[in-house]
Amino acid sequence: MVQMDIIEKFGGCKMPVKMNHRNEYQCTIELNQNGKYCVRVRAVFTRKSWTLPVYFLASSFDRAMTKLEQTLQFLQQQEERLWFWGVERSDDPNFSAELVQEAGLRMDRRLEFPRRSANVALSPEKPVPAVLLAPVRRGLAGSIDTGRVSVAGD
């Protein structure tokens, strides 16, 4: 505060600070006991300061990546609707689960999220460019390979 008073006293101008209003998506993938890929996404929506953890299962890695892109598109496009009906106006805690099921997702009730994740930050309500998903795909593929090596070593 003292620093700002000095700037204003001597005629300095105050630059507007650009707020970071980007949605952040943490993505992880693991192979479950049935041999299916379990993809977990923790969506952090900064405009309304809320988090939506979801997951889905896929039979192959390629199908998991296709579904991940669809999931990110859905979360980007439906942010307001999910928040309004799932957080703001819902007396029914299961209502959020019904909304995400429309996109083939399930609510992730697990409290802990793996430390190793691939992250994407996107401007709200903007489409997800495919070029941003290439590093996510590589990161998730690397985590699956690492998981296979550690299981094989046991």
Q: What is the DSSP string of 20-48?
A: ---EEEEEEEEE-TTS-EEEEEEEEETTT
Residue 16's pLDDT is 43
> 124: how many CB neighbours lie within 10 A of its CB?
15
pLDDT digit string (tens) for 36-94? 999 999 999 888 888 899 999 999 999 999 999 999 999 998 888 888 766 655 556 56
**Distance, CA of 87 to CA of 107 (rounded, Å):** 14
Q: What is the end-to-end Cα distance of the chain in Å, rounded?
A: 57
For β-strands 50-58 and 106-107, DSSP reports them as antiparallel
Residue 94's pLDDT is 64
CA dist 16 to 47, 125, 151, Å? 18, 23, 51
pLDDT of 105 > 90? The answer is yes
CB-CB contact of 145 with 151 (8 Å): no
CB-CB contact of 124 with 23 (8 Å): yes
